[in-house]
Every structure is written in C-alpha cells, then in structure tokens.
A and B are shown apart, each in its own frame.
Chain A
Amino acid sequence: MKTLIKNALVIDPINQLEGKYDLLIEDSKIRKIKREIRENNCEVIDLKETILLPGLIDMHTHLREPGFEEKETIKTGCEAAAAGGFTTIACMANTDPVADNPATIEYIKAKAEAGVVKVIPVGSITKDCQGERLAEIGFLARSGVTALSDDGNPVMNSEIMRRAMEYAVSFGLTIIDHCEDLNLAGDGVMNEGYYSTILGLKPVPAVAEEVMIARDILLAELTGARLHIAHLSTARGLELVARAREKGLKITAEVTPHHLILTDEAVKGYNPDTKVNPPLRSQEDVDKLKQGLKEGLIDVIATDHAPHTFEDKLGEYDYAASGISGLETAVALIHDRLIRQGLIGWRDLVKLMVANPARILGLDAEGIKEGARADLTCFDPAREWEVEPAAFKSKGKNTPFVGWKLRGKVILTMVEGKIVYDDRGGQSEIIY
C-alpha cells in the first residue's frame, strides 16, 4: 500500500530538511521526498497549510499498567499519545509490580504490541523503587531497557545511587533521576513561597530538588554515569545542570510543559488538578526555565503524563494524588504559549521532542528522509480548540488546563506508515 502526502511544510533539523515537500510512503517507510511527486494508485493525503514533523517522542510517561489499570492502561495511554502527536513514548517503572525485572518489561512490551504507538519501557533503579537494593540492572539491560528510573521516588540513599550509576555505566544505561530530598520535601503539597504562605498549604522548598540535582551531578562525575534529570523545575536546578555541562559532564535535563507555563499562583482556589510533583514553581523559576529553553540549556520537553482517576483528585488538596494528564495537551500548549510567543521555533521543538530524547534513550532518530521509518506528526497551527478532558483518549482527565482555548492542534499521527490518529475533519479518531 502506498500513501502520498502532499503539500506539507516539512520541518526536520535532523536531516536539515525544511520546506514544502511531498512524501511517498510505502509499507512502513518513506520511499521518496520531492518538491512534487505524482503517483497513481495510492491514497493521497493533502496536508496543505500544516506542519509535518518527525514523529514526536515523549520520554517520560506513566502508563500505570500493570497494577493501576483504573488510572490508565497501555492501550489508552498509547491512544492518548497518538492523539498528542507522539509516535514513541517511554513509560516509567513505578507500576505494580514495579518494572524491576525482565518479566514485567516483557509484559509491558507484549501489551504494547497491540498499542497504536511504540512503547519503550524504563526499568527501575532499585527493587520495587524502594531505594534500598539495586534492581537486576544487567537482566533489565538484556531485556532491552536503555534507561533506569525510580521516578515517583528519589533514590535517597547516596551510596545506593553511587552503586547504581557505577553498575549502569557498564551496561550503557542512562540513569533518569526524580530529584527530591524527601526530608526537605516533608509532607509538603505545593511550592514554598508566597502562595503556600497565603493558602496555608504545606510547602515543598525548591531546594529539595536542588540538593539532589547537586548530589547526582557529583555522583555522575565520580562514576562517569549518563545522568538525565527528570522534570527539572527550579531556576537553581537548571543553573547546576548548566554548570556541570560546562565541565563536560554527560548530563541532560527535561522540563514539562506545565512547569514552563503555570506558576504556583495556579494553586489558588485549591484545584487538586494543579497538584503535581515537583510542584508548580514560582514566577521566577518559570522565567528562568523559559530563558534556559531559549538558550538551549534544556535538552528535552517531556510530559510526565500522570493520569489519575476522578476520585484520586476529588476533595481536599492535601489528600489528592499528584500528577497531570499531559500527553494530549503538550504540543498544543508549547505551540500556543512558547512558539507563538517566539521563545522557541519548530526546529527547536524537534530537537527537544525528537532528536534529544532519542539520543538519550539510545534510539535511532531517523527523522524525515528517504528510507526512514514513516513516523510522522502533522500539526495544524491555525486550528482553534478548547481543552475538554472528557474528550481525552487518556483515562486520566486530570488537567489544570480545562477550558483553555488553544491555537494549533495535532491533526494526524502516523506510526511506521500507518495513520493511527486522524483529526483532520475534527473527528479525533484512533485507528487500529
């Protein structure tokens, strides 16, 4: 079967390709890229006035399966990813059972076979994400895992983290750390600052994140580990990463869309959908993160997609679960709030959401070139829409962006030559 994509504005800095092109796709690959292709006997998709990107990669999601299928399943998580324009997603290990063993990794992969996008399981650093004993890192590596994380929990014990890094190096794995000093964070539920003071909510200081970033950098320097900082959210955390990189250390960092767009002021009104870990930070932090993004100090934008049930987010702020269902709003938010404001461009976005995450996860980001796998994301920058959680493919309807009117939307997602999500006519359809 052949598909001919016509008139798309292709933006792919991986292959230095930018401009109006036609793409001929046959089987799972891009066969031909030309200014104009004429071909009979094929399905023609006219993507006039839209932007065509290499398929996006989200290196930080929680698919909740196995163990928390009431929040999300691999199937629904993949659908949410497709609707958000992602063709590959990495899923975190804090399931039940934890992905600390090859059997759980195989289970996730098997389930993901039936999903509409590609799933890369992340293994845990320690058994049960408890931070006490190392997971069987060698076996995890042999089962295809390329990165390790106890995300959701930090590895508080510095000795354990040191050993994990040393051990991971010999298997070529990246350590992704959730940096949070649990003693400093205490039972806090929001960022420490003016808003925690007036709202009377227990505070989590920024330094809870920063001391752990500093520790991890020192341990990475000692061990030579490949360290990736998950959901970096503070100005000084970014400063630490930038300084470490100047020294030549192999350290990367990701930021979420919500930490780039919302501040702790959003917690006013006690909406549990604003509760997330790390918490929404101060205006100063957000300004510095945006500045860092502009200056290229941040490697990756990742969603930290954290779906929860209605009940998990019902009631008192203190008792609500932390997390934001982010897959289906990420690209539109970045376009509406960062690209349209001129902070970054589409080429930056491809680096942040394709090239860099691929490199960190050890994937081959082929981008848009002849012979490459046809993983493509099509974005209509003019489409206006309103965030309505009820319409999410994800089971997690927990988003602080309810009712936001956004300009720009993913309208087509293609995985290995097959359309898996189609919203060209507003039908928002997942196609198996």
Chain B
Amino acid sequence: MSLKRKDFLGLYNVEADEIYEILETAKAMKEIFTRSVKKVPTLRGKTIVNLFFEPSTRTKSSFDLAAKRLSADVMSISKSTSSVAKGETLLDTARTLEVMGADVVVIRHSAAGAAEFLARKIKASVLNAGDGAHAHPTQALLDMYTIKEKLGKIQGLKVLIVGDIAHSRVARSNIWGLTKLGAEVRVTGPATLIPKEISKMGVKVFTDLDKALVGVDVVNILRIQLERQAKGLFPSIREYRQFYGINDERLSGLSKDVLIMHPGPMNRGIEIESSVADGDQSVITEQVTNGVAIRMALLYLLAGRDLKDEDLN
C-alpha cells in the first residue's frame, strides 16, 4: 500500500479514493493504540524530520509521537533552535537535512506555498503540516476521520465551519476534502473574515450563524486569532462572542447528535463556551487521538513507498 505521490501538500488535488485509503490506513494505526505495546517496527531505519518554522505544540508533538510509534528516527527542529534564525534559507536548511538522510520532511511554515517550494527542491518526501493560510491536510484528514468514525459516513452530511475562514488553512483543507467526499460544507463568520469568491470552492456562505446552524450534522469551530481584532477585522472580542461564539443556547434547538469539533488550541469563552467544549457532543479530545493515527498513516504511506506490503505487526 502506498500513495501515488512523493509529497503530501494539500487536499486540492487528492482524489476521494486516496482519501479513503488514508482513512482506512489510519484505522489500522489507531488499533495499535489499544495494545499494551503501542509501537510497531514498520519504519525502523527511516528518518523523519519535523521542520517547524512556526510555533506549534500540538501538531509537532502529534507528528513526533506518530513517528516514534512507527519506530522511525525522528528529529525535530523548530525555528528558535535551528539556524533559520541566522538567516539561512528554507532551501539550504532542507538540503542540509536531506543529505543527513531524511526520508520525510514534515514542514510547518507561516508562508503559503513553503511546503510546495520545498517539495520541488528536495528528493525526500514532503508532508505539509500547515503552510500559511493555504493548507493543513493532516488536520482536515483527522477531522474527516473523526466525523466518519462518529457518524459512520461523510457523504451527504452538512458540515459547518465557523470563524476566521480567511486566514484558516484548516478551513481550506476541510473544504477540499469534505466536498470531495460528498458533504455539504457551509462557512460562516464575520464578513471581513470570509475570503473572496470562496463559494467557487463549492461551499455555502452564511454571515448569520443561527441560520447557518439549521440542519447541520457537524460544527467545526476555528480558533479566532486575537490579533485579527487588533488589525480591525472585527470590532471587539465581546461582539465576536455574541455573534459567532458557540454556546449551549445556540445548540439547544439542534439535534443532540451534532458533533462539536475544534482544531485547538481553544479560546475558551470566546469562540466556544467551556460547557460546549467539555460537553457530550464535543469530540475535541478524540480529534487529538485521531490526529496521531492520521499522521502515522501518512508517514507510513510516504516513508514506506519503498517497503513491500509490510504488515503492521
């Protein structure tokens, strides 16, 4: 089993059957978590580099754990500890890592297109862990995995993404992935945070949260970056909470089966009320678990391109 591609940069040009294959692989990976020894030798001798040019605790530790559970040698470099701070270019950093024998470079970068640039320049596989506002495919895949696990399917579901769509790579990757699997995707947020012509991506745009919520199966709540308010994109935090915050009252009229998701880290009491985040409908902690499984699946499918149907035992 393997992917048809050297790199995994986003879901824009990934087909539905490929997404299903990744989700299936992740299911097998997740099964490993239930064992007493949560580790398989599959990627022994493979080297995985986590190259993080942007602060991240969650995604980095998730990739770190995923690589370790597959027995790969893993090296994590973040901006503050690498020579990037000294002005070394992304290209030179990556080339250095490549000659050190990296099989997969996992990259997180604040500039959109950074992962694609790297993929063109180095022979190692590149796995995008988030580039600017462009793509965050592993997050979208873990979101889809969680939805499928909880609701049994994705096709035909109504999924609402709430918040700062304009600056969100999570939203973009979810839109590509979910629409490919036949879900109806809605987006809502302040008009100033909805990017132009997003409806051409196949989504319905709402500016009224309560209207957007009618009939949905999943609500995926994005983190609101507080600096957006400072930049004048919306007037105040309390106004954001009032018009776009998800709370019990808003959810009271909806089905109790509606899933509540959040990619984290949450601003409790702003975009999501604590009682919702910690409530029965919330699958936020399961998203974290599934994140490790999805990342194991992708590392396996990329680093294992030259492996022969090796089993996971």
- B113 contacts the other chain (CB 8 A): yes
CB distance from A321 to the nearest CB of B (A): 14
Contact between B117 and A200 (Cβ–Cβ < 8 Å)? no
Chain B residues with CB below 8 A from A314, complex form:
89, 91
| A196, A201, A314, A316 — most chain B CB neighbours (10 Å) | A316
Contact between B12 and A203 (Cβ–Cβ < 8 Å)? no
- A107 contacts the other chain (CB 8 A): no
CA distance A201 to B117 in the complex (A): 14
- B134 contacts the other chain (CB 8 A): yes
Contact between A200 and B201 (Cβ–Cβ < 8 Å)? no
Q: Which of B96-104, B191-199, B261-269 interfaces with chain A?
A: B191-199
CA distance A316 to B116 in the complex (A): 10
Chain B residues with CB below 8 A from A203, complex form:
195-196
- A103 contacts the other chain (CB 8 A): no
Contact between B196 and A269 (Cβ–Cβ < 8 Å)? no
Which positions 129-162 of chain B face chain A at CB distance < 8 Å? 131-135
| A200-B169, A200-B172 given; A316·B197 CB < 8 A | no
- A270 contacts the other chain (CB 8 A): yes
CA distance A193 to B201 in the complex (A): 12
| A192-B196, A194-B197, A196-B195 given; A201·B89 CB < 8 A | no
| A192, A198, A203 — most chain B CB neighbours (10 Å) | A198
CA distance A202 to B196 in the complex (A): 11
Contact between A193 and B132 (Cβ–Cβ < 8 Å)? no
Chain B residues with CB below 8 A from A385, complex form:
none
Q: Which residue of A lies closest to B200 (CB)?
A: A194
Which positions 152-211 of chain B face chain A at CB distance < 8 Å? 169, 172, 195-198, 200-201
CB distance from B34 to the nearest CB of A (A): 37
CA distance A64 to B48 in the complex (A): 44
| B111, B113, B172 — most chain A CB neighbours (10 Å) | B113
Contact between B114 and A316 (Cβ–Cβ < 8 Å)? yes
Contact between A315 and B91 (Cβ–Cβ < 8 Å)? yes
Contact between B195 and A316 (Cβ–Cβ < 8 Å)? no
| A197, A201, A202 — most chain B CB neighbours (10 Å) | A197
Chain B residues with CB below 8 A from A317, complex form:
111-113, 117
Contact between B196 and A270 (Cβ–Cβ < 8 Å)? no
User: A359-385 vs B: 1/0 string, CB under 8 Å?
Assistant: 000000000000000000000000000
CA distance A196 to B133 in the complex (A): 10
Contact between B200 and A316 (Cβ–Cβ < 8 Å)? no
- A318 contacts the other chain (CB 8 A): yes
CA distance A330 to B200 in the complex (A): 33
Chain B residues with CB below 8 A from A196, complex form:
195-196
Contact between A201 and B197 (Cβ–Cβ < 8 Å)? no
Contact between A197 and B113 (Cβ–Cβ < 8 Å)? no
Q: How large is the interface on A (under 10, 10 to 19, 20 to 34, 35 or more residues)?
A: 20 to 34
Q: Which residue of A lies closest to B116 (CB)?
A: A270
Chain A residues with CB below 8 A from B112, complex form:
199-201, 270, 317-318
Chain A residues with CB below 8 A from B133, complex form:
200-202
Contact between A316 and B12 (Cβ–Cβ < 8 Å)? no
Contact between B195 and A270 (Cβ–Cβ < 8 Å)? no
| A200-B132, A200-B172 given; A193·B197 CB < 8 A | yes
User: A181-211 vs B: 1/0 string, CB under 8 Å?
Assistant: 0000000000011101111111101000000
- A404 contacts the other chain (CB 8 A): no
Contact between A197 and B195 (Cβ–Cβ < 8 Å)? yes
Contact between B111 and A197 (Cβ–Cβ < 8 Å)? no
CA distance A318 to B133 in the complex (A): 12
CB distance from B53 to the nearest CB of A (A): 10
CA distance A199 to B134 in the complex (A): 5
Which positions 193-236 of chain B face chain A at CB distance < 8 Å? 195-198, 200-201
Contact between A199 and B113 (Cβ–Cβ < 8 Å)? yes
- B69 contacts the other chain (CB 8 A): no
- B3 contacts the other chain (CB 8 A): no
- B122 contacts the other chain (CB 8 A): no
- B283 contacts the other chain (CB 8 A): no
- A139 contacts the other chain (CB 8 A): no
Contact between B196 and A319 (Cβ–Cβ < 8 Å)? no
Q: Which residue of B lies closest to A317 (CB)?
A: B113
Chain A residues with CB below 8 A from B198, complex form:
197
Chain B residues with CB below 8 A from A193, complex form:
196-197
Chain B residues with CB below 8 A from A199, complex form:
112-113, 134
| A197, A200, A269, A319 — most chain B CB neighbours (10 Å) | A200
- B108 contacts the other chain (CB 8 A): no
- B90 contacts the other chain (CB 8 A): yes
- B109 contacts the other chain (CB 8 A): yes
| A192-B196, A193-B197, A315-B117 given; A198·B12 CB < 8 A | yes
Chain B residues with CB below 8 A from A270, complex form:
112-113, 116-117
Report which A residues bind B (CB closer than 8 A): 192-194, 196-203, 205, 269-270, 314-319
Report which B residues bind A (CB closer than 8 A): 12, 89-91, 109-114, 116-117, 131-135, 169, 172, 195-198, 200-201
Sample (16) of A-B pairs whose CB atoms are under 8 Å apart: A197-B172, A197-B197, A198-B12, A199-B134, A200-B132, A200-B134, A200-B172, A201-B133, A203-B195, A203-B196, A205-B196, A269-B116, A316-B114, A317-B113, A318-B111, A318-B132
10 interchain residue pairs of minimum CB distance: A200-B134, A270-B113, A200-B133, A316-B111, A200-B112, A194-B197, A197-B195, A318-B111, A317-B113, A201-B112
